[in-house]
Structure 1
Amino acid sequence: MDEGDWDEPAQLEQVFLICLAAGCSICWFNTVCFVVCIRSFSAANRPLALSLSISFNGLSAAFYTLFANALSPYSPSVYLLLNAILPLAASIIALPAILLCHPHDHSSLRTLPKHDRRVFLCFYTIAFVTGIYLVTFGSVTTTSSAARAVLMGAMALLTLPLIIPAASSCSSVGTHDPDTELTFNHNDPQKPLLLNHDDHTETNGSMAHKTVEWQPKGCCCGTILDKGCVLVLGEEHSAKKLIRCVDFWLYYTAYFCGATVGLVYSNNLGQIAQSLQCQPQLTMLLAVYSSCSFFGRLLSALPDFLHRRVSFARTGWLAVALVPMPVAFFLMWKLHDVNTLIAGTALIGLSSGFIFAAAVSVTSELFGPNSIGVNHNILITNIPLGSLLYGQIAALVYDANGLKSTVLDNLTGTVDTMIVCMGAKCYSNTFFVWGCITVLGLASSIALFLRTRQAYATAAGQSSCKHHSQVLS
């Protein structure tokens, strides 16, 4: 055997190990970020902080691409090197601030300074402007000098979130009185109801009583929907208790048959564009998906800003966010033009982005904030499973409609056989199957909403009662 025959297996093993290490690192990094957000922010601010951090996560690919184009536009190794160095450098810089930040105690969870909501509104405005900036200018940088100019602007926008908290703290010195409008998450069904152990039994009893009263009499459907449902928001669930919970499996199915399908679609977008002869529009399609996914993540904070006007459970918003996905797949199944592909990609990006960002808050509210590290990782086991299943479905349909062709490998001199499929038939049936799967996810999310809406309503009512009692006292 020649020495060169050993090169390819060794390279494949190295790539596999690198991808394995990167995947483990990403899971660990995301989990730590979620836990830090939950422990460092009050219950009222927690969903906003989580949504904001996940939204900026959606801009990382555009930022790395811009950084690589500024250094060396035609060197893929620079992109990989930046992916290795920048996260480590950012973590080292952020570590002192994280260590100095003390988690909120129960007393701080009960009040919310007036300026906090304004600070988060500024953060979201900056995130929105940053997203528009990177989407608009990041894809048109054809030279290193242009990329450097755009990069300087992006760095300035990313620096602003570091300045706002300091300026806000200086402006709020001496104004530590609680905001009476926001105390106890007034009229806010979106926030977790954090209970002490002393009040837990009494609250469980009252909530169970209210749930029984709410059930429709003589309706077996109402009994089935409410059997074993979550009664208290923020109640801690161990892993053993979690996997025995019906609501968790409805939630798991909604994620598995919703956001994960959108993720698999984005991974196959290059081959989809090639099969539909839309290869020239591939860059635009990728930009549409990434930008819509980013704005979908930002929109996941909309319920927290509109909670006084729209009283709606977060699980209900999750169900609403799933509606565009089956619509997009069925449209692409029936219509095969470029405009439909772009519109479908935008809808899938918005839907999946919203679910990715909202899921962490939903997990925290339904199954406990202190168990988020374990419980959310159990939830996202559906991503590799879904990627394998849905990718296999797409591959089977593609191969069944493709034609075999032989290709000569110039490096090894071997002749390989590959299947190439061109035309709408390559993914038409896949879109139909994916659409049916997302309908199942939508049905699961609606069932989850029906089972949990009373818990959200009870939490909102109890928060309102506490607020009024404090005002009267």
Structure 2
Amino acid sequence: MGIRESHTFSAWKWLGFVSAVWVQTISGNNYTFSNYSDAIKTLMNLTQLQLNNLSVAKDVGKAFGLLAGLASDRLPTPVILLIGAIEGLIGYGAQWLVVSQKIHPLPYWQMCIFMCLGGNSTTWMNTAVLVTCIRNFRRNRGPVSGILKGYVGLSTAIFTDLCSALFSDDPARFLVMLAVIPFAVCLVAILFLREIPQSTSVAAEKEEARYFAIFNIVAVVVAVYLLTYDLIGSTNQVFSLVFAVILLILLASPLAVPIYAFVKSWRLVGFEADMERQQPLLKEETTSPPAETKEIITEVAAAASADDATVLVEKTKPVIGEEHTIMEAMQTWDFWVLFTSFLCGVGTGMAVINNMAQIGLALGHADVSIFISLTSIWGFFGRIISGSVSEYFLKSIFHVH
């Protein structure tokens, strides 16, 4: 592989990572239920228990994320993204029709199905993005997962603040955003997100570390920017429009990394051409070994292969940092520690997030969007820090590369 080809592959890999970041930026819609739950409760005349069961149906959709995981080894990334995009369009589109009163309220069981579809859609997006990017950046799994999951945390704040700035927290328009924007972003990501062979050179690893530092800085800037807007609040329509434009620019700014990588690869075209011109025009002909020597080599190789066939090589179990099958993962303590942590920890967090609107209203707050956004932002910091810290311990203690 030539110098230009290797850098071109690197540029496409970073372009895919940027599209993955965008997908994660819009795939946190599972955490936005509180933004429109009160509207659904009022229109469908639900009790608090029935509303809670609707949120459970949404979370049950995430439980079917196992299907996306199994499909990731059998289906290409674009297909997985497309499945998630279509599910989200149908699930949140149906909820928009109800909240906007375009149709009469659906039967309760049908709403549960559409809530489940909307919840399951993000599992396909997350799986496609995480699996592909971790395979593309095997030496930086921690930063990759931290950045991508961090943007999922920011997703709720991004949707909430944009809706607050542009649509005055209108729940119907908020659901339009949840249905249309993820669908459009996934269609864009389908064009660029691919598995690309990674470079094994030390220079490439250092370059990846520098680029990931840039992504981390941009993510923190976005989080601080959202936090500042939440604390200041919207003063007028012009201020809100300026906030939205700057936010979109910040979200687009990671494109600078693949653009720089492409420019770098183009500059190397001339260098590689000069290297080729310096090669001698005539090369000495290599003498082929005599026929007798060839026969001896063939016989020795055949004997060696016959001996190797009798040796049974026992497959070693994968270690931390290597890919595991589901059965291999279930045979490790690490899997069950993670399973227990998610079972006990994630459920309690989702219960609070799903009922944030009702908690805020009960405490006398008419607008609870700021609480939803702040929860999202602090969740982002926890995700991105945990990704970097975990990678540090993997490399320094377990020596995983």
| TM interval, short-chain normalised | 0.5 to 0.7
Cα pair 1:123 1:161 within 8 Å, conserved: yes
1:291 aligns to what? 377
What is the CA deviation profile of residues 228-278 of structure 1, one whole-angstrom value per residue up to 9, with x for unaligned ones? xx8722454333343344432222112222333233233344455566x47
Displacement of 1:148 after TM fit? 1.3
Q: Is the 8 A contact 2:223 2:377 kept in 1?
A: yes
Residue of structure 1 aligned with 2:214, choices 99, 122, 126: 122
1:30 lines up with 2:116 in the alignment: no
Q: TM-score, normalised by structure 2?
A: 0.55
Mark the CA change 1:54 to 1:235 in structure 2 (over 3 Å): closer, same or farther: closer
Tell me how far apart the structure 2 counterparts of residues 38 and 20 of structure 1 sit (CA, whole Å). 27
Deviation at 1:131, TM superposition (A): 0.8
Of 262-271 and 72-81, more deviation after overlay is shown by 262-271
Q: Is the 8 Å Cα contact of residues 230 and 373 (structure 2) preserved in structure 1?
A: no
CA spacing shift, 1:459–1:83, aligned 2, 3 Å: same
Q: Is residue 2:107 matched to residue 1:16?
A: no
Query: Alpha carbons of 1:124 and 1:110: their partners in 2 closer, same or farther (altered >3 Å)?
Result: same
Instruction: Give runs of aligned pairs for residues 91-130 of structure 1, distance below 5 A.
Output: 91-98=186-193, 101-104=194-197, 108-109=199-200, 111-113=202-204, 114-130=206-222
Deviation, 1:121, is 0.8
Contact 2:160 2:369 in 1 (8 A): no
Q: TM-score scaled to structure 1, two decimals?
A: 0.47
Contact 1:52 1:124 in 2 (8 A): yes
Corresponding residue to 2:353 among 255, 266, 271: 266
**8 Å CA contact 1:67, 1:151 repeated in 2:** yes
1:29 partner letter: M
| Pairs within 5 Å for 1:73-222 | 73=168, 75-98=170-193, 101-104=194-197, 108-109=199-200, 111-113=202-204, 114-138=206-230, 140-141=233-234, 143-171=236-264, 174=268
Amino acid paired to 2:221: V
Q: Residues of 1 paired with 2:189 and 2:374: CA distance?
A: 31
Once residues 259 and 192 of structure 2 are traced to their aligned partners in structure 1, the CA distance between those partners, rounded to angstroms, is: 12
Counterparts in 2 of 1:47 and 1:104: CA distance versus 1, 3 Å: farther
What is the distance in 2 between the residues matched to 1:237 and 1:302? Answer: 22
* Matched letter for residue 27 of structure 1: T
Seen in structure 2, the aligned counterparts of structure 1 residues 87 and 242 have a Cα distance that, compared at 3 Å, is: same
Structure of greater relative contact order (alpha carbons < 8 Å, 6+ residues apart): 2
Residues 310-349 of structure 1 show CA distances to partners (whole Å, capped at 9, x for unaligned) of xx348xxxxxxxxxxxxxxxxxxxxxxxxxxxxxxxxxxx
SS at match of 2:168: coil
Q: How does 1:321-400 map to 2 (within 5 A)?
A: none
Matched residue type, 1:80: L
- Taking the aligned partners of 2:162 and 2:348, their CA distance within structure 1 comes to 30
Distance 2:195 2:373 in 1: 39
Q: Is the 8 A contact 1:58 1:290 kept in 2?
A: yes
CA distance in 2, matches of 1:283, 1:14: 27
C-alpha displacement at 1:123, in angstroms?
1.0
Give the fraction of aligned pairs with identical amino acids, expressed as a percent: 27
Structure 1, unpaired ranges of 5+: 177-200, 205-229, 315-455, 464-473
Match of 1:223 in 2: none
Residue 230 of structure 2 contacts residue 374 of structure 2 at CA under 8 Å; is this kept in 1?
A: no
Confirm or deny: 8 A CA contact 2:222 2:250 kept in the other structure: yes
Give the drift of 1:67: 3.0
Alpha-carbon distance in structure 1 between the residues aligned to 2:182 and 2:358: 30
Question: How far off its partner does 1:292 sit?
Answer: 0.9
Tell me, yes or no, if the aligned pair for 1:72 and 1:144 is still in contact at 8 Å: no
- RMSD over equivalenced CA pairs, Å: 3.7
Please give the alpha-carbon distance, in whole angstroms, between the structure 1 residues aligned to 2:129 and 2:359: 34
- Alpha-carbon distance between aligned partners in 1 of 2:388 and 2:323, rounded to the nearest angstrom: 26
Contact 1:138 1:150 in 2 (8 A): no
Moved more, 71-80 or 149-158: 71-80
Q: Partner residue of 1:51?
A: 146
